[in-house]
Amino acid sequence: MPHTVFIPSPAGTFSTSLEASPGKVPRWARDEDGVGNGRVRVTSAPVASTYTPAELMAAVAARELRDGEVVFVGIGLPNLACNLARATHAPNLVLIYESGAVGAVPERLPVSIGDPSLVTGSLMVCGMADVFQSLLQNGRIEVGFLGGAQIDRFGNINTTVVGTYRRPAVRLPGSGGAAEIAIHARRTLVISRLSRRAFPETVDFVTSPGHRAHGHSRRELGMPGAGPVKVVTDKAILEADPESGELVLAALYPGVEADDVRAEIGWPLRSKSVLGHIAPPSERELHLLRDTLDPHRLFLKG
């Protein structure tokens, strides 16, 4: 019997449902009995002794996703994190890609948003205008995944230029759909490696808005989404303070001290009163990442 995956609708808009069949769960996402029923619990799996920063970031980001959520995902570590979540604790995750693949179940690692593997077995393939207008701007995307060249004190993301806009030192790829995701997704998760260059106090250009920029808050600018609620780095997790919108230290990875994180941040980083401690990747998480999701290390390079 097919089950129904509902794309949540805000009040005052029509509701949309998509039919998904358990038979479309990818082979690698099925549990030992052959069905993607989510009975594997990564929290009880053996802990691996060695892992790379990229593997740790992918595993930690995957744990932030809840079963049944609708996620707007890109390529790279966010894609690995989403597919790892589906293979472990969130088999009913609905993945939507900018190219128009809705409910994608790729049987191999997609290398771009236009990869044909995203189409095979998906619930729907539509135009980009439908993805952005009917789904994202109508409030049906629960989670947006973003990365960035720069992320500042208030969660603003820069993927446009390093330096001034008219005379940049580096010209970056630009926004794509990142600005709309940061504005409209109900919450946004960010993945980025820590460094002072990547985490300045103020970004050189606001590509994707965070919680405050140029003296204005998200609420003042009428942005409906919650913005970047967490930033998953290679040393710690940062969270947005609910009052100020400033990114603060929320949790540390194994073997990392708070001062190690502050040394890579371009502003006086505050901490939550009680810091969390993140478990390392389990053997199962690493097996899926290394042997199934990214066996050629396209995105798990270091």
> How high is the pLDDT of residue 39?
35
| CATH code, domain with 107 | 3.40.1080.10
- Asked whether residue 10 is domain-assigned, the answer is yes
Q: Which of 278, 270, 197 lies closest to 239 in space, CA to CA?
A: 270
- Asked whether residue 108 is domain-assigned, the answer is yes
Catalytic: which of 55, 64, 69, 98? Answer: 98
pLDDT in tens, the chain (302 residues): 443 444 444 433 333 444 444 445 555 455 444 444 333 333 445 655 689 999 999 999 999 999 999 999 988 899 999 999 999 999 999 999 999 999 999 888 888 888 999 998 999 999 999 999 999 999 999 999 998 899 999 999 999 999 999 999 999 999 989 999 999 999 999 999 999 999 999 999 999 999 999 889 999 999 999 999 999 999 999 999 999 999 999 999 999 999 999 999 999 999 999 999 999 999 999 999 999 999 999 999 86
- Asked whether residue 40 is domain-assigned, the answer is no
- Asked whether residue 47 is domain-assigned, the answer is no
> Rounded to the nearest 10 degrees, what angle do helices 77-87 and 53-63 cross at?
60
Q: Work out the angle at residue 95's Cα, subtended by the Cα atoms of residues 92 and 97, and round it to the nearest 5 degrees.
A: 170
Check if the beta carbon of residue 211 is closer than 8 Å to that of residue 182.
Answer: no
- Asked whether residue 192 is domain-assigned, the answer is yes
> How high is the pLDDT of residue 17?
43
DSSP 280: P
Q: Which of 267, 241, 76 lies closest to 153 in space, CA to CA?
A: 267
> How high is the pLDDT of residue 27?
53
Which domain, by its residues, includes 20? 3-28+53-290
Structural domain total, the chain: 1
Ramachandran angles phi, psi of 106, nearest 5°: -65, 135
Ramachandran angles phi, psi of 252, nearest 5°: -115, 150
Per the DSSP assignment, residues forming a β-bridge with 99 are none
Rounded-to-integer distance, Cα 114 and Cα 95, Å? 14
- Asked whether residue 300 is domain-assigned, the answer is no
Ramachandran angles phi, psi of 178, nearest 5°: -65, -40
> How high is the pLDDT of residue 20?
43
What's the Cα-to-Cα distance from 76 to each of 40, 72, 152, 279, rounded to whole Å? 24, 13, 21, 22
- Asked whether residue 41 is domain-assigned, the answer is no
With H, G, I as helix, E, B as strand and everything else as coil, classify residue 231: strand
> How high is the pLDDT of residue 128?
92
Active site residue 98: yes
